[in-house]
Structure 1
Amino acid sequence: MSSTINLDVFFSAQSFQENELRNKSVVVIDVLRATSTIVTALMNGAKGVIPVEDMGEASRISQSVDSDNYLLCGEKDGTKIEGYDLGNSPLEYDRETVEGKTLIFNTTNGTKAIKKSLGSARIYMASFLNLSAIVSSLSAEENEIVLLCAGWKGRLALEDVLLAGNIIYNLGDGQLPDDANDGAKVAYGLYEKYSDDIRSVIFQCNHAQRLKNVVGTDDLDYCCQTDITDQLPILHDGIISI
């Protein structure tokens, strides 16, 4: 990573104030599972994803749209919300289900991080699934970059920090500038320590343990895959699309 690239990492959606993102390009990371699911939905032909902060906002939007072209999607504490079409498992978002649809999407951590980033210059969605596409785009980014880990209810989520570190590592061809911000140093260091077996480390993470008890391990296996797509989801006027 060139020392001319100004990059920082926030470790949860509660670890910053909105004005800290102004005029910056934000990369939202919620490996388990929101950004992985968004990437998958768009890969499988979804028209767009509307992130919402809570069930009230989701309900208001759903009442004003054509139900034939929209799906109400999301989870609370890992479990699909009653009455929703889909939960937050990327495996639910196959082409037959989502192609041509716009998704109203509400999750415990990921969509809150997205909504809190609305004052920034640009908002990307990153997962291991589209890692190289994110790195390629960021390498040409002129704005200051913030890697925003969604975390879990205000706490650090190791899987998100590992992806942030992986992005930093790839941007710098394995080198970290001496003048890197503290957040970047922490993420880079954790990735360097655990890079030999990311999948096993993620399976041991606190949030992965919670999800195992709710949905099993299939989602974890899926979200640990790297570069299965070159999709680059970006938020435009309240809708995430490619």
Structure 2
Amino acid sequence: MPQLSYIDVFFSVQAFQEEELRGKSAVIIDVLRASSSIATAIRNGAKKIIPVADMSDAMKIATTMDQKDYLLCGEKNGNKIEGYHLGNSPAEYTPDTVKDKTLIFNTTNGTKAIKKASLANKVYIGSFLNQQSILDILQEHDDEIVLICSGWQGRLSIEDTLFAGALLYAISGGNLPDSAKDGAKVAFGLFEKYGHDLEGAISKSDHAKRLAELVPNDDISFCCKVNEFDVLPGMRDGILTNLNG
């Protein structure tokens, strides 16, 4: 079980340098919506997910694969990328669509955070949908853990910070010690204040407001569901698969 003084929270992709993760394990959090879509896709039978930092990387990988085996997935500033098969709504990642497919995945914030964490010992993808799976695997760790909130364009986002706080609250049994790091105290405090009404707090967040005109109405609600899926998306050799599988 991790010591709480060994858990830190970074509040955006820009809040850390790659080298800071060497020798540590990382949980990447992008509740709205990359983490939630990844968990949904894996739950619904996607064979593997290849996160990429940008569209050019996505196209390079696609050219090496048979067209019937992969789907180009992702968004830029909330909108599905032109020419892609899927956007970034969990509702799109149905079993009929993703089963046995390789997803090449590219988003504004989430996949950049995943790629930037490449030096970490282990990289997991966390969302409210698979919260218990993240908690279970963290219990097995005695190394330092960093909860990486993807944020939005370098800024804090309440939904990602709330999920980091939810993990800390559960691990600490609701009693965070004074020895906890500053980032952990901030995330824990936010969850203490707003955790009783996740959907209410998240639906009023800056990111949810930005997305309101762009995404299906029930995306926000779906991304706030807790423990819907028993999946553990994690990285192996640059590819996300279900480590619970």
- Both structures adopt the same fold (TM-score exceeding 0.5): yes
CA distance in 2, matches of 1:163, 1:104: 25
Give the aligned partner of residue 140 of structure 1: 140
Give the aligned partner of residue 223 of structure 1: 223
2:16 match: secondary structure = coil
- Give the counterpart letter for 2:135 in structure 1: V
CA distance in 1, matches of 2:101, 2:175: 41
CA distance in 2, matches of 1:175, 1:90: 33
Q: How much does 1:195 deviate?
A: 1.3
Kindly report which structure 2 residues correspond to 1:37-186, keeping only aligned pairs within 5 A, or say none.
Answer: 37-186=37-186
Q: How much does 1:3 deviate?
A: 4.2
- Give the counterpart letter for 2:49 in structure 1: V
CA distance in 2, matches of 1:5, 1:226: 26
User: 8 Å contact 2:29–2:149 — kept in the other structure?
Assistant: yes
CA distance in 2, matches of 1:5, 1:230: 27
User: 8 Å contact 1:3–1:179 — kept in the other structure?
Assistant: no
Q: How much does 1:142 deviate?
A: 2.1
Deviations 1:184-208 (A, max 9, x none): 0000000001111111000000000
2:103 match: secondary structure = strand
User: 8 Å contact 1:3–1:177 — kept in the other structure?
Assistant: no
Q: What percent identity do the matched residue pairs reach? A: 55
CA distance in 1, matches of 2:195, 2:159: 12
Give the aligned partner of residue 25 of structure 2: 25
Cα distance change, pair 59–160 in 1 and its aligned pair in 2 (3 A):
same
CA distance in 2, matches of 1:4, 1:211: 34
Cα distance change, pair 230–5 in 1 and its aligned pair in 2 (3 A):
farther
- Give the counterpart letter for 1:27 in structure 2: V
Q: How much does 1:217 deviate?
A: 2.2
Q: How much does 1:178 deviate?
A: 1.4
1:68 match: secondary structure = helix
Give the aligned partner of residue 199 of structure 2: 199
In structure 1, list runs of 5 or more residues that go unmatched.
none
CA distance in 1, matches of 2:97, 2:236: 23
Q: How much does 1:175 deviate?
A: 1.4
Cα distance change, pair 4–40 in 1 and its aligned pair in 2 (3 A):
closer
Q: How much does 1:2 deviate?
A: 6.5
Q: How much does 1:213 deviate?
A: 1.3
1:190 matches 2:190: yes
- Give the counterpart letter for 1:222 in structure 2: F
User: 8 Å contact 1:2–1:172 — kept in the other structure?
Assistant: no
- Give the counterpart letter for 2:125 in structure 1: M
User: 8 Å contact 1:133–1:230 — kept in the other structure?
Assistant: yes
Q: How much does 1:100 deviate?
A: 0.3
1:100 match: secondary structure = coil
TM-score, normalised to structure 2's length? 0.97
Cα distance change, pair 153–4 in 1 and its aligned pair in 2 (3 A):
closer
- Give the counterpart letter for 2:193 in structure 1: K
Instruction: State which drifts further: 211-220 or 64-73.
Output: 211-220
> What stretches of structure 1 move > 3 A for 4+ residues in a row?
1-5
1:174 match: secondary structure = coil
CA distance in 2, matches of 1:56, 1:157: 27
Give the aligned partner of residue 237 of structure 2: 237
Q: How much does 1:216 deviate?
A: 3.9
User: 8 Å contact 1:2–1:177 — kept in the other structure?
Assistant: no
CA distance in 1, matches of 2:198, 2:224: 8
Q: How much does 1:79 deviate?
A: 0.5
Cα distance change, pair 58–3 in 1 and its aligned pair in 2 (3 A):
closer
TM-score, normalised to structure 1's length? 0.98
